[in-house]
A and B are shown apart, each in its own frame.
Chain A
Amino acid sequence: MSLRVTFATAARVLTQLRRDPRTVALLLLVPCVLVVLLKEIFAGEPQVFQHIGGPLLGLFPFISMFLVTSITMLRERVSGTLERLMTLPLHKLDILGGYAIAFALFAAVQVTLVSVVAFGLLGLEVAGPKWAVVLLAIGNALLGMSLGLFVSAFATTEFQAVQFMPALVFPQLLLCGLFVARTSMAEWLQVISALLPLTYAYDALAKVAAGGPYGARFAADVAITIGATVLLLVLGAGTLRRRTP
C-alpha cells in the first residue's frame, strides 16, 4: 500500500465529483430539502420529527454514497480505467482507500450542511452530542460506499446499478427500526433485520439521539457497523480482479 497513491486517488475522485456540479448540488441540497419536508409533514406531531430526525440525518450519507460509489465504480469497470489501473504499480487497497477518503470528506460536508439546517433552522434536538451524529453519519457514508462498491461488481449497466438501490437500500431502511420499532415486527422480520448492517448503524444513531445508554449494546452497534464496512470492502476488493476472462 502507498499513501501517495491513496491520496492521489482520493484527489482524483474528488476532482471528478467537482466536474459534476449538478450532482454535487443534488447530493448536498436534497437531504436539506427532505429534512425540511419531514419537519413540515409532521407539523401536527412535532415529537415524530424529533424522534426520527436525528437518526435520519445520519442515514442520508449511507444512501447517497451507496449510489455514487456503485455508479462511479461501475464506470471504472465498464470504461476500462479499472483494468488500466490494474496494470499500474498500485495496490487494490490504494484504490479503495482513495475512494473511502474522498467520500468520507464529501459525506462530512453533506452531514454538516444538513445538520446546520436541522439543528440550527428547524429546531431539531438530540439528547446526545451532535458531533457524535456527524461522526456516525460519516461511518454510514463509508458503509454505503463499501456496499455500493461490492454490488457494482454485479451490475453491467448503470440502469442495473440504480436498481440495486430499491433492492438493497430500501429494505434496510424499512427494517432498521426507523419507521417501526424492531421489537414490534414479526419474528422473521426481526431475524432479517438482525442480519442487515444498517440496523446497527441506525441503532447507534438512535441511541445518540436519545442520549444513551452508551453501554455494551452501543459499542456492539458501532463495532458491527465498522466490521460490516470492512467486510464489504474486503469482499469488494475481491471483485477487483487483475486478471479477467
Chain B
Amino acid sequence: MSEPSIRVEGLRVVRGGKVALDEVSLEVAPGIVTGLLGPSGGGKSTLMRAAVGVQRIDAGGITVLGRPAGSPELRSRVGYRTQAPSVYGDLTVRENVHYFARVLSVPEAGVDDAVETVGLGQEAGQVAGSLSGGQLARVALAMALLGEPEVLVLDEPTVGLDPLLRRDLWDTFHALADRGATLLVSSHVMDEADRCDELLLLREGRLIATGTPDELRRRTGAADLDSVFLRLVEGGA
C-alpha cells in the first residue's frame, strides 16, 4: 500500500470544555474512498476541520501529503466541504463557484465542469439563497471539487439528497479516487458506509473501529452495518 495521505497521531481536541477528539490516531490512504462514520457529535467534523487546518489542536498532530495540516502549500491541493454549506446566499450558483475558481486559479471551464458534476447545470444562474437545502449542499460540493484537488475532505456531502443523485455523487467520488485522489467522506447514515472502501468509526471522540465494510461485518458477525456499529459499541468486539 502507498504512503497514507492523511496521518493523524494522538490527536486531542477540546471544544467548549468538552473533549471532541481523544487520542485519535489513524491513516487515510490515497486512491480509495474512506468513510468517516459515527453518530452526530462523535467528532467527525472536528477531525475534518483539523485535516484542513482550521481547528485548534490541543495535542497530537495531523499531516496531509506529508506536511502539517493547514500548511499554505496544501491550500490549493486540499478540497474541503464544510458540514453547513458555506455558500454566499446572495450570489448565483455560478458566481459562487466562479469566485472560488479565481482564488484557486482554476480556468473558466473548470467552473462549468464542477457545476455539471453536482448536477446544477440548470440552476447555475439561480441565486444560492433561493435554492433548496440539498441544492445548496451541492453548490458547496462543487466548490470543493474545483481544480481536482489531491485530497478531498467532504463533511456529510450527500445528506438530504435524493437517492439518484446520491448514487451519482458516490460514483464521482470513486472516479476521483481511481484517478489517485484521497477522499475522506463523513456520514452519519450507516447505509452509506457500504459505498466506502475503508471505514473509520468514530464515537464520542474516539476511534472505535477501522476496516473495510466486509471486514467489520466479519469481525462482529453482524449482517448490516447498523448492527456492526451496535455490536462494536455494546459488545466491545
Contacts and interface: CB of A to CB of B under 8 A. Distances in A.
B91 A243 contact: no
B103 A20 contact: no
Contact residues on B (Cβ < 8 Å of other chain), bracket: 20 to 34
Contact of B91 (A8, A15, A86, A245): A15
User: Which residue, B56, B80, B86, has most C-beta atoms of chain A within 10 A?
Assistant: B86
Contact of B82 (A4, A83, A244): A83
Nearest to A17: B90
Interface string B81-107: 010101111110001000110111100
A183 interface: no
B70 interface: yes
B54 A87 contact: yes
Given A243-B70, A245-B56, A89 B103 contact: yes
Interface in A1-50: 4-5, 8-9, 11-12, 15-16, 19-20
A11 B95 CA distance: 10
A79 interface: yes
Interface in B64-123: 70, 72, 75-76, 78, 80, 82, 84, 86-91, 95, 99-100, 102-105
A160 interface: no
Contacts of B80: 84, 87
Given A80-B84, A87-B52, A87-B53, A19 B127 contact: yes
Contact of A244 (B55, B76, B84): B55
B219 interface: no
B56 A244 contact: yes
B103 A243 contact: no
B88 A16 contact: yes
Interface string B131-159: 00000000000010000000000000000
Interface string B29-59: 0000000000000000000000011111000
Contacts of B82: 80, 83-84
B102 A243 contact: no
B103 A90 contact: yes
Contacts of A88: 75-76, 100, 103-104
A163 interface: no
B52 A81 contact: no
A37 B102 CA distance: 45
Contacts of A243: 53-56, 70
User: Which residue, B55, B70, B88, B100, has most C-beta atoms of chain A within 10 A?
Assistant: B88
Contacts of B104: 88-89
B127 to A, nearest CB: 7
Contact of B54 (A9, A11, A242): A242
A19 B91 contact: yes
B186 to A, nearest CB: 16
A106 to B, nearest CB: 15
Contact of A19 (B55, B90, B105): B90
B91 A242 contact: no
Interface string B2-29: 0000000000000110000000000000
21 contacts: A5-B103, A11-B99, A12-B91, A12-B95, A20-B90, A79-B86, A79-B89, A80-B82, A84-B82, A84-B143, A87-B53, A87-B70, A87-B80, A88-B103, A89-B76, A89-B103, A242-B53, A242-B70, A243-B55, A243-B56, A243-B70
Interface of A: 4-5, 8-9, 11-12, 15-16, 19-20, 79-81, 83-90, 242-245
